[in-house]
Amino acid sequence: MKSFHSIEKGIAIIYDDLYLVNGARTPFGKFCGTLAQVSPTDLGIFSSRAAIEKSGVNPKEIDQAIIANIGQSSGDAYFLPRHIALFAGLHESVPSLMVQRICASGFETIIAASEQIMLGKADTVLCCGTESMSLSPTVSFGNRMGYPLGRPVFKDMLWEALDDTAAGYPMGYTAENVAKKHNITRQQCDEFALLSFQRSVASRNSNIYKDEIASVNSVVFEAEGLKPRKVRIPGGVKNFVSDEQVRETTLEALAKLPTVFSDVGVLTAGNCSGIVDGSAAVVVANKNSIQSKGLKPVAKVVASASCGIDPKVMGLGPVPAIRLLLEITGLKMEDIGLFEINEAFSAQVIGCEIELGLDRAKLNVNGGAIAIGHPLAATGTRLSLTISREMIARKVKYGIASACIGGGQGTAVLFENVNL
């Protein structure tokens, strides 16, 4: 293990013999769509049960559960990590932990799990990120203390999640700042979005995600000694398995959409990440656990890095994170065969491409969040699983998954293909 920290550069670590065994995710449901009435806890149970099954691990042999969730959007939100662990089948004596690094929280579950394993506090860990953006509440802070007559104040917590008060404006404006910095045009943003949709449609049609997505159905989750959890999918939908926002589109259709953050800006509803509901989970384990249980991992978790950046250009966060990751590992850009960078906004991903000198042919090859959607806490686990599986399919040795983070941060994780 080799760790690094610098006020100027950030934090990073190289792990010893740590593996992403396997994982699974729910399909991502569009905003107020098929999954809109499913709590983030239940979404997490769906993905965690599937991830454990695909990994071939006995849930009673998992030592910890590390869970991410950003927006508290159900009545049992305080208990979310514990409830997910218990209904996923983990032993009642196993502790659960919630982590939060906003858009990189899914990555953080894997990073925290890896560090717990390095410290000798676990051999095998369940990692899960889960988010219901449709159920994000409208709240009245201070309502308990009352309010002046006729002046109740309510906040839309989903909107508040997208509004960085430190930067002074919603995060979409930070991507407009990136566009101005690099002279990125509206057409370039729409072309990038079109490619995301085209790649996602092609992946769906060729069943690329078939082994990654676990179907969601109306069900009753049961665990010994606990009150059952009843989950109902409205409309009689059965075997919901397809990302709901993925669709055919054209450059002409994208060009007709109005800008959403600035009258003279480049960003529209069509070239920014989709607001969706969903969950993704993976199992992380050390070499001893892999060997003793006879497991076949999909990738090695090599290293991770996180850093801070000016909130006003927060979308460029992957740039210093990836650079630090390469610096600590001694690898070069040309050594990395695949990249997954979360498509929060088309302009910010293009900005990362420019600053890193990325080859788009290696980036988000099966589409990204513009088409698939960005369920905040689930994205990092989804990207980690997606890139690990694609590295096997393409016989690529190294891949990096990364995301920008609201408030001005970046996280990146390096994976190695152990199936070459």
What is the set of active-site residues?
Answer: 103, 404
Per DSSP, the three-state class of 207 is coil
Strands 276-286 and 29-30: antiparallel
CA distance linking residue 55 with residue 33, whole number of Å? 29
- CB neighbours of residue 334 within 10 Å: 8
- Full 3-state SS string of 80-107: HHHHHHHHCCCCCCCCEEEECCHHHHHH
Comparing CA positions, the residue from 131, 130, 127, 129 lying closest to residue 55 is: 127
Cα–Cα distances in Å, from 44 out to 92, 345, 377? 17, 26, 11
Per DSSP, the three-state class of 124 is strand
Q: Which residues pair with 155 in a beta bridge?
A: 139
Q: How many CA atoms lie within 13 A of 286 on its CB side?
A: 16
Cα–Cα distances in Å, from 178 out to 12, 103, 185, 379? 25, 18, 11, 22
Q: Are 240 and 232 in contact (CB under 8 A)?
A: no
Strands 18-25 and 276-286: antiparallel
